Structure 1
Amino acid sequence: MRIWFKSWKDNHMLQDYVWEDYSEETRTHKIFAAVDKASYEFDTSKPVWLDSTIREFKRHGKARFTRDNFVDEIPFDYLEIHILDED
């Protein structure tokens, strides 16, 4: 599985990170591990998965974490997660 994370501010991509994991872990475990790693790479708190975020991610394989998904202030407008490919 490969997942692409991008942080955006004023319609400009600030930073991106591609996470890869081809282990035997479940899809859910891989996604949560990827979000943890991306949060570390972007030096921000871990986002909260709101119901709307989960629905969007299930439907399209991508989602946006906006300010509503974070407890702390974030230095970007949103963090985008997009599954590039799965095992």
Structure 2
Amino acid sequence: MRIDFREIASGRNIADYTVEDKSNQSRTRKIYGAIEEACYALDLPRPIWLDQNIREFKRHAKTRFGQDSFLEELSFDFLEIQVLEEDLW
């Protein structure tokens, strides 16, 4: 599985990070692990999954975390995550 993370500010990509996970863990564990790794690498707090994020991610394998998903003030508009490649079983 490959998951892409992008920090977007004023419509521009200001930082990105891609996580590749070839482990045998569940999809959910891979996603949470990738978020933890990407947030550490990008020096970001971990976002809170809101109902809207869950629905978007289930439907499109992509979502955006805005200021309402973080406890700390952000220096960008949103963090976008997208699954680029799913595992084939």
Class of the TM-score when normalised by the shorter of the 2 chains: over 0.9
Deviation at 1:75, TM superposition (A): 1.3
> Does 2:41 correspond to 1:41?
yes
Partner of 1:57: 57
* SS across alignment from 2:76: coil
Segments of 4+ moved more than 4 angstroms: none
* SS across alignment from 1:45: coil
TM-score by length of 1: 0.98
Identity, % of aligned positions? 48
Gaps of 5+ in 1: none
Deviation at 1:42, TM superposition (A): 1.5
* SS across alignment from 1:72: coil
Q: What amino acid is the match of 2:23?
A: S
* SS across alignment from 1:58: helix
Q: What amino acid is the match of 2:33?
A: A
Partner of 1:82: 82
TM-score by length of 2: 0.95
Gaps of 5+ in 2: none
Paired with 1:55 and 1:30, the residues of 2 have a C-alpha distance of 18
Deviation at 1:76, TM superposition (A): 0.7
